[in-house]
Amino acid sequence: MQKLSLPERPGWRERAKELGFTFADMNGEPYWDETSAYRFTLRQIEEDIEAPGSELHGMCREAVAHAVTSEEWLTRLEIPRAHWDFVERSWANGEPELYGRFDLAYDGKGPAKLLEYNADTPTSLYESASFQWLWFEESRDAGGLGPNTDQFNRIHEALTERWAAICVPGEDVHFAADKENPEDYATVEALAWAAREAGLGAHFTDLANIGITDQGQLADDHDRVIGTLFKLYPWEDMLRDEFAPNLQPSQTRFIEPPWKALLSNKGLLPLLWHLFPDHPNLLPAFFQSDLEAARRGEDTLFAQAIAAAEPLLAQGHVTKPIFSREGAGVVIHEAGRETDRAPDDSYSHHPQVVQALAALPDFEGFHPVLGAWIVGEDCVGLGMREDRARITHNLSRFKPHFIEG
C-alpha cells in the first residue's frame, strides 16, 4: 500500500459537473482529490480486503440471527419495543439486503480492522462506483497509470446483478432521499441507474412528500402507491419517526429491510466481539455500561472478556455513540487521557460503545480509511477517504486507488 502523486486529468472538474457530481468540491475545499492515489497489490486487495469483507458480512448475518429474537440484545441495540416484531419478521421472511460499506483501518501490513459498518444508508457510492472508475480508465489511457493496472471496483455491475436477483422483471422501485442534499441525491441516482439497467422501473421521490393512502399504503407525491421503497433514511430514525406506526401495516417492501437496524448500529461492534472473540479483523469492543459494571467488580456476562481486553484498552480506545454519522461523537483516549475529539457531539446523548484503538496510518500527514463495499453478501469494491484529522468526517477527501503488482 503506497500513496503516489499523479497528474490530474485536464478539465476533470468540468466533467464532474456535466455528470452531476456537484459536490466534488465542498466549502471551498476539494472533496474529490486526484492529485495522488493509493496503490495496492493484488494480494492485498484479495486477501486483506475482499475476502475479509465478505467474511465480515457473513459474521454480521450470524449476529442478526443471534440478536433478532433476543430481548436482551434488541434492548441493548435500542430497537424500539413497538417494532421488534417488524424487525424480526423481516429477517424470518428472508427479506434480502442490497448494499453496505465496512469502514476499515489498514496500513498494508497487518489485518484490516473493522471500525464500523454502514449497513443501512451508506453514501459516497457514486464516487466509489462510477467517478473513480472513470478516473482509472482515463488515467490509464493517458499513461498516468501503467497498462497492467486495475481497480477493485465492480460495484455498479454487482448492484445491477443484485437488483435483478431481488426484484421481479419490470418491478417499480421508489427511491427516496432528501432532494436538497446533493450527496444523498447522487447516491439514490447511482442506485436507480443500476436498477434501470436491471430492467426495473425507478422513480425518485422526496422523503418529505411520502404520504399515506386511505387504505394505509405509502404513496408518493403523484399519489402512486409505493410497493417497493429504497429509502436513504436510517432505520434508527424511521423507527422513532411519528410516521413509524404506518410502516409495518403499509405492507411496503423496504430496501434495506428492517433487520438492517441491527447492523447499522455501533452496538454491532460489541455483539460481534461477543460472538467472534479474537477474530483478526475485529477490535475488542464493549458497551460502556458493561465496562463500567465490570470495573465496579460486578460479575456480568462480559466481565471475563473485558478483563482480557483491559491492557489493550488502556493503551488506547475510542468511544462512539451507537447512533451517529460521519465521525460525530467519536472521542479518542490514549494512555489514560483524551487525545482527540470530533467537534460534532450532536449524537453523544446516545449510549456509548468503547472500542480498542486501531491507529490509522499516516501518509504525508493524511490518515486514510478504507471503505469496503458489500453488495448482496459479497465484497465487490473499494473507496477511500483521508483527512489530516484522525477522525474521518463529512468533508474528508475521497481518494482514488488502483492495483499494480
Residue from 102, 165, 161 nearest 128 by CA: 102
The 10s digit of each residue's pLDDT in 206-253 is: 999 999 999 999 999 999 999 999 999 999 999 999 999 999 999 999
pLDDT range class, residue 324, cuts 50, 70, 90: confident
Res. 325: pLDDT tops 80 = no
Higher pLDDT, 394 or 366: 366
Residue from 169, 170, 174 nearest 252 by CA: 174
Q: What is the mean pLDDT of residues 76-101?
A: 97
- Give dist(CA 170, CA 107) in Å, integer: 44
Q: What are phi and psi of 401, to 5 degrees?
A: -140, 165
Query: Do 355 and 380 meet the contact criterion of CB atoms below 8 Å apart?
Result: no
Res. 393: pLDDT tops 90 = no
- Give dist(CA 293, CA 266) in Å, integer: 19
The C-alpha cell that represents 48 in the structure block: 486483506
Q: What angle do CA 94, 204, 225 make, to 5 degrees?
A: 65
- Give dist(CA 122, CA 52) in Å, integer: 19
In the three-class reduction of DSSP (H, G, I as helix; E, B as strand; rest coil), residue 286 is classed as strand
Q: What pLDDT, on the 0 to 100 scale, is given for residue 256?
A: 97
Partners of residue 321 on adjacent β-strands: 352
Name the residue with cell 457530481.
Answer: 21
Name the residue with cell 461492534.
Answer: 269
Q: What pLDDT, on the 0 to 100 scale, is given for residue 300?
A: 86
Q: What pLDDT, on the 0 to 100 scale, is given for residue 348?
A: 82
Q: What pLDDT, on the 0 to 100 scale, is given for residue 63?
A: 98
Res. 343: pLDDT tops 90 = no
What percent of the chain has pLDDT above 90? 90
The 10s digit of each residue's pLDDT in 168-189 is: 999 999 999 998 999 899 999 9
The C-alpha cell that represents 231 in the structure block: 429509502
Query: Do 197 and 157 meet the contact criterion of CB atoms below 8 Å apart?
Result: no
pLDDT range class, residue 15, cuts 50, 70, 90: very high
Q: What is the mean pLDDT of residues 303-329?
A: 93
- Give dist(CA 361, CA 118) in Å, integer: 21
Q: What pLDDT, on the 0 to 100 scale, is given for residue 347?
A: 84
